[in-house]
Structure 1
Amino acid sequence: MNRSRRALTLLGLAAASTLVLAGCAGGSAGADGGRLQVVASTNVYGQIAAEIGGDAVDVTSIVSSASQDPHSFEPSARDQLIVSKADLVIENGGGYDAFVAGLIDASGTKAPVITAAELSPAWPADAHDDHADAGHEDHAHVEGFNEHVWYDVDTVRAVSKAIADQLSELDPAHASDFAANAKAFGADLDGLDAALADIESAHGGEQVFMTEPVPGYLVEDAGLVNVTPEAFSEAVEEEQDVAPATLLEALNLIGGGSVRVLITNTQTGGAETQAVIDAADEHGVPTIAFSETLPKGETYVSWMQANIEALSAALA
């Protein structure tokens, strides 16, 4: 979204929310002795928060549908009202869900914010994603950083710990429950690590082609090598045309016999994506698709396990 469009969106949001927020007192259900109100940018983090918080929290995920793209999502006055009542806010950061910064600014919430990207081992030491500048272009994409950090088990482990710690500060009476839930969740994440290690043991060093960098961390943790031309994945992610020379390079890679799997994004597509899918079909390269939001009826762990199993099956 360009600067002028985002500015108009935030101005409209503030104006529309004036009537919605009028007469609403500050504070939250948690502060009144009820369940803590947790707001997550997407249902990926919402489900993790629900697992850690259990019966002590109510969780609202702003983006919860595969038809909604967090990159370009435009929040409503209702979303602002939800954030204004939050006890805890969880975002991805790194430019992925920049709308959260606008909601925090417009709502005036003082709730603590967990930014998953900042907990990633890959987060650049000099990167800036500070909510002191919320609502400004500082929340744009961080150059050279893959912001799809929920596909990295280590980052999600750190996020779950941060959630447990923050909830314990907000509701000390349930601190032991939050810690126990986080420990159980961590054990499930250990299972994902083991499954990825199995792929690395059997297929380490083999090549994959990804139309977008969404599952990049998962692919790396499985010991696989991403050979996608950067110009191709950047164009697809930004919904721009792929240069003919870049498309030809991609098609030659897929037809060259070294690419073992083609990975696409269920939530995006286009002529160039279809071209590489067709090439993969022609040359007998398996194609699998990953999504950016949690499929209905899945937990984070069951979703990632299904992704890992699909990758393992395609490689086999």
Structure 2
Amino acid sequence: MTRRVLVPLVLGAASVLALAGCAGSTPAAGGSTDDAGKVSVVASTNVYGSIAQEIGGDFVDVTAIITSTAQDPHEYEASAQDQLTLKGAQLVIENGAGYDSFMESLIEASGSSAEVLTAVEYNHDYPGAQSHDHADDASSSPAPSESADAHDHADGDGHDHIEGFNEHVWYDPHTVEDLAKAIAEHLGELAPDHAADFTANAETFTTKIAGLEDSLGQIEAKDAGAKVFVTEPVPVYLIEAAGLSNATPNEFSESVEEGQDVPPATLLESLQLIDSGQIAVMIVNPQTGGAETTQVMDAAKAKNIPVLEFTETLPEGQTYISWMQSNIAALSDALPA
């Protein structure tokens, strides 16, 4: 049974919208700067588009392929207009690890020579990623599992879904911090005259990330170990950063993520866990769902367990920082006093 309950995507020109707040001009073909002299950046989702806009400021033209919470990157089918957009990019930002696999085919089909940054490679849990001590070196970009330079996407190596790895890395503040520094570095290479601006913007952005981490630390100080049930693994990095425990049976969240039926035994285990009173809060992803998701949500509400919604893509009118601030505040408020 198909479990994704999303609004159908209309292909064509309407499928690519300029990120809110960014210039709406079409990137020039061949990867050059646009008519205003801005660096053309294409991101797979508006999450990474927002981060790129924060770093690039007035000197970038950012386009996000996926801009709506009604679209699911796992299942997105790219259009001819998307291909044209990629063709004009100088810098491409993708998530990787199979999350936005449509980007791989787009990059190859467009013949793009743009530099590609893959967010998962800045995550400490990514297979082969080199460790990076944020306390010791807050000013330099980490060395990801491969070079942060342009990748050969034609072979597809390292970009498929990795069993046991949570690819939703934008919910991990450390990953986003390191990615932001890498974006600033690459933008500086593409537009040297504005390199100092990109560096300054990245420093401002990472200061805001530190603020998010402080808020997460406050949750940990009062609620460390509290159990959270997640219908899909989207927010797991964030709850772990808050010192909370993911108590969800793995097969439940993995089945929902893969669009499969939750095994009856796993569903029963989940319902018994919720009924036991051990769960402090439930977090659901409104971009996916099905009968079992509804069932556990109803069970949580019947036990007066707060149910929060954390999306995969940026809600309208939010920046990455304001979005994460809202999520953290909602989590803090939902936990018992």
TM-score by length of 1: 0.89
Matched pairs, number: 293
Q: CA deviation at 1:138?
A: 5.4
- In structure 2, distance between residues paired with 1:242 and 1:88: 39
Query: Residues 257 and 33 (structure 1 numbering): CA distance in 2 closer, same or farther, change over 3 Å?
Result: closer
Q: CA deviation at 1:122?
A: 1.1
Q: Write the mapping of 1:101-250 to structure 2, written as runs, cut at 5 A.
A: 101-125=104-128, 131-134=151-154, 136=156, 139-250=159-270
Bigger relative contact order (CA 8 A; separation at least 6): 2
Letter in 1 for 2:32: S
Structure 2 SS opposite 1:41 = strand
The equivalent residue for 2:37 is: 34
Instruction: Kindly indicate whether the alpha-carbon contact (under 8 Å) linking 1:39 and 1:89 is maintained by their aligned counterparts in 2.
Output: yes
Cα RMSD after superposing both structures:
1.9
Instruction: Kindly indicate whether the alpha-carbon contact (under 8 Å) linking 1:128 and 1:138 is maintained by their aligned counterparts in 2.
Output: no
Q: CA deviation at 1:26?
A: 2.6
Q: Which runs of 4+ in 1 moved over 6 A?
A: 126-130
More helix by share: 1
1:43 equivalent to 2:63? Answer no
Instruction: Kindly indicate whether the alpha-carbon contact (under 8 Å) linking 2:251 and 2:266 is maintained by their aligned counterparts in 1.
Output: yes
Instruction: Give deviations 1:110-138, integer Å, cap 9, x for gaps.
Output: 11100000001111118899942437485
Match for residue 297 of structure 1 among 311, 317, 330: 317
1:266 equivalent to 2:269? Answer no
TM-score by length of 2: 0.83
Instruction: Give deviations 1:223-242, integer Å, cap 9, x for gaps.
Output: 00001011101111111111
Instruction: Kindly indicate whether the alpha-carbon contact (under 8 Å) linking 1:70 and 1:97 is maintained by their aligned counterparts in 2.
Output: yes
Query: Residues 27 and 299 (structure 1 numbering): CA distance in 2 closer, same or farther, change over 3 Å?
Result: closer
- In structure 1, distance between residues paired with 2:29 and 2:174: 39
Letter in 2 for 1:121: H
Instruction: Give deviations 1:171-215, integer Å, cap 9, x for gaps.
Output: 010011101111111111111000000000000011110000000
- In structure 1, distance between residues paired with 2:73 and 2:155: 15
Instruction: Kindly indicate whether the alpha-carbon contact (under 8 Å) linking 2:96 and 2:160 is maintained by their aligned counterparts in 1.
Output: no
The equivalent residue for 2:100 is: 97
- In structure 2, distance between residues paired with 1:81 and 1:135: 21
- In structure 1, distance between residues paired with 2:152 and 2:313: 28
The equivalent residue for 1:10 is: none
Identity %: 57
The equivalent residue for 2:274 is: 254
